[in-house]
Amino acid sequence: MDKTVSDNEKTWDIVADQFFEASALPVWGPFDVGRDLNLIPDIKNRTFLEVGCGSGRSIKYLLKQGAEKVYGLDLSQRQLDEATRYNKTSVDQGKVVLIKGPMEEKIDIEPVDVVCSIYAIGWTPDPKATFKSIYSYLKPGGLFIWSWDHSFFSDVRYEDGRCVVVRSYHDEKTVTLRNWKNSGADAYITYRKTSTWFQLLREAGFEVVGYHEPAAGSSDKIYDDPVRYYSIQKAEKVPSSFIFVCRKN
């Protein structure tokens, strides 16, 4: 396993409980983004894999909408323990299969109709391997739908009523997040331009059939703080998320 991935695994196990109630379907990120887009119109009787399934909230949603079977993949054992607890009956029935491992390494599952991921793909240090694996999981014509921080959102900070650029959009190097989430541990992430994501998806064989930059929908109190990374003041000026809809041909 890549050292970046193994270090992130340890950190995610420490901070896991801070994300048990993170954004989950039918929402695709902070500020309630994507709720009204209906990106998965046909859920009933279809099979799914969620990459970075976290605490299993999206899995529960898919099952309630009639999904036939849902696989969940996550790096953090603590997240998977919570996903197991949250979906216990469906796990016992075999309708949910939870798998621990890095998204870059191929897992052994039957082909699925849809792979989805909410705010997980951007953590990969090796997107070529990740997209290659995801492509292999899909049936012909299957969809890969995923969201992540908008490539420009991380480059700006809200100050005195305006957004100020604090890092170069063109800088795609790996960044160390020191004492991430006050965990006492570091996390590692690589910021990538939107054009880079498009190119990587095409190289993996995907056809990009949809790309969305939804406006912020929620102004919940937790976001009403201009000094926060995710602040409504910032999100009203710069898209917080992008969502890709890709097809395997």
Q: What's the pLDDT at 223?
A: 87
**Per the structure, how many domains does the chain have?**
1
Q: Which range marks the domain in which residue 100 is found?
A: 3-248
pTM: 0.95
Q: What's the pLDDT at 222?
A: 80
Q: What's the pLDDT at 3?
A: 87
Q: What's the pLDDT at 158?
A: 94
Q: What's the pLDDT at 27?
A: 96
Rg for the chain, CA atoms, rounded: 17
CATH number at residue 153: 3.40.50.150
* pLDDT tens digit at each of 249 positions of the chain: 688 999 999 999 999 999 988 889 999 999 999 999 999 989 999 999 999 999 999 999 999 999 999 999 999 999 999 999 999 999 999 999 999 999 999 999 999 999 999 999 999 999 999 999 999 999 999 999 999 999 999 999 999 889 999 999 999 989 999 999 999 999 999 999 999 999 999 999 999 999 999 999 876 778 888 889 999 999 999 999 999 999 999
